A and B are shown apart, each in its own frame.
Chain A
Amino acid sequence: MIGPFIYTLLVLVVAGIIHLSTVLVMPWVATRDGFLRASALARDNSMIVLSATEVRNALPYTDPAQAVAVCRFVLDRGPVRVRLATADWPTTILFLRKGAGIFHSLTEKAATQGVVDVVIATSEQMDKITALDSDDDPVQELRVTAPVDIGIVLVRSLVRTDSEREGVMKQLRNTSCEAETL
């Protein structure tokens, strides 16, 4: 009588382990997830503005009312600075990593004097940056510590009406994503 019970238990335990492990592993091994799709369109430490067609073809479930720019940050040569001039429309800067998805995000409301100025750095680089801070000059830039050396910065602006599209695209074209030396 014990035999069937043991085998049933074995089936349930193996099914549970396989199910939970595949769910947990899927974002890390997926070959067509949002991170890799955005990464395929990106360049290292350089902001690329995507056309509406590129967004449509490469980034499923994106709001068609959003214009998108993408940059792959590579921190092995130093921190990366993202600068974005704000406008009337909502704009968001997202930081993504493989497996964990969005690890940080901020909107145009974080701007100082009309500019969102973000430095993304590893924890070691961030220690060096903060060590250089002066007590007399308040820090104006926003700082994001990256849990990885390589990730994606995605900038999304809402195109409220078609007549605003050119202005939104111009805003994104003027957005920078550049490596800095410490």
Chain B
Amino acid sequence: MTKLVWAFLSVLAGVLIGLSLTTLAVERPPDFGVHQAGPWITRPRIGSVDADPYSKALLAARGEVPLATAEGVQFRASRDSDGARLTGRCTYRVVGPVPQAAYWTLTVYRGDGTTAEAAGLRGGYTSSEILVFERAQPEFLLSPDPQPGNWLPLQPDIDFEVSLRLYDTQVSSNLNALDAASMPAIRRQACR
């Protein structure tokens, strides 16, 4: 009888641990097939049938339809260049080279996948509409307070993530050549 109770408890513990691991895997998916360049992470196969099971589970949980492989490459950052989580309480300067692409966009997402556009504010920029000073690299200010230049508003009380999407690009064929120096840096400035 004692053995039966122990076996039942072991199975129960196994089920709970298994479900907890799945929750963790969706919230912080393992880095199978991931390419990292500075704070930016991309999952090159996420927009194809070859996506790994963890990427598919992540998409299902987020309700997201990713960029298709033919469409482009999407990089995400949920941490700054020093590894700290991106929070809406702080101002960030995003500056640096953008990999070769016909067009690209930079978007700030809240945890539920919405942008500041839901509140009538700007949620992102396309490469065709940013202000770039002569010979300078693209520069953005992500901040809860209005900023000059390419400002993207943040909601002060929540963490956020940034997406850099490259459209019509050959980058995916040579991702290993991309490192932190090839991508925009995300530098934290002042915090509230």
Q: Could you tell me which A residues sit within 8 Å of B by CB distance?
A: 3, 7-8, 10-19, 22-24, 26-27, 30, 32-35, 37-38, 52, 56, 59-65, 90, 92, 94, 96, 100-103, 105-107, 154, 156, 158-162
Cα–Cα distance between A24 and B17 once the two chains are bound (Å): 16
Are A60 and B22 closer than 8 Å at their CB atoms? no
Enumerate chain B residues within 8 angstroms of A12, measured Cβ to Cβ: 14
CB contact under 8 A between A107 and B71, given known A17-B18, A26-B22, A90-B168: yes
B143 part of interface (Cβ distance < 8 Å)? no
A23 touches B59 (CB 8 A): no
Q: B interface, by DSSP: helix, strand, loop or mixed? A: mixed
**How many Å from the CB of B175 to the closest CB on chain A?**
18
Is B113 an interface position by the 8 A CB rule?
yes
Residues of B within 8 A of A162 (CB): 129
Which single member of B53, B70, B165 contacts A23 (CB below 8 Å)? B53
Find out whether the CB atom of A94 lies under 8 angstroms from the CB atom of B68: yes
Contacts A18-B19, A19-B25, A158-B103 known; A10 to B14 CB distance under 8 Å? yes
A160 / chain B contacts, CB cutoff of 8 Å: 103, 126-129
Q: In the complex, what's the smallest C-beta–C-beta distance from B55 to chain A, in angstroms?
A: 9
Please give, as numbers and ranges, the residues of chain A lying within 8 Å of B103 by CB-CB distance. 90, 158, 160
Task: Report whether B22 and A63 are in contact in the complex, using a CB–CB cutoff of 8 Å.
Answer: no
Chain B residues in 8 Å Cβ range of A24: 53, 57
Q: Would you list 17 pairs from A and B whose C-beta atoms are within 8 A, ordered by A residue? A: A10-B7, A10-B11, A11-B14, A14-B14, A17-B18, A18-B15, A19-B17, A22-B22, A23-B57, A33-B60, A56-B115, A60-B63, A60-B109, A64-B115, A64-B117, A65-B124, A158-B105
Q: Which of A11, A17, A64, A90 contacts B167 (CB 8 A)?
A: A90
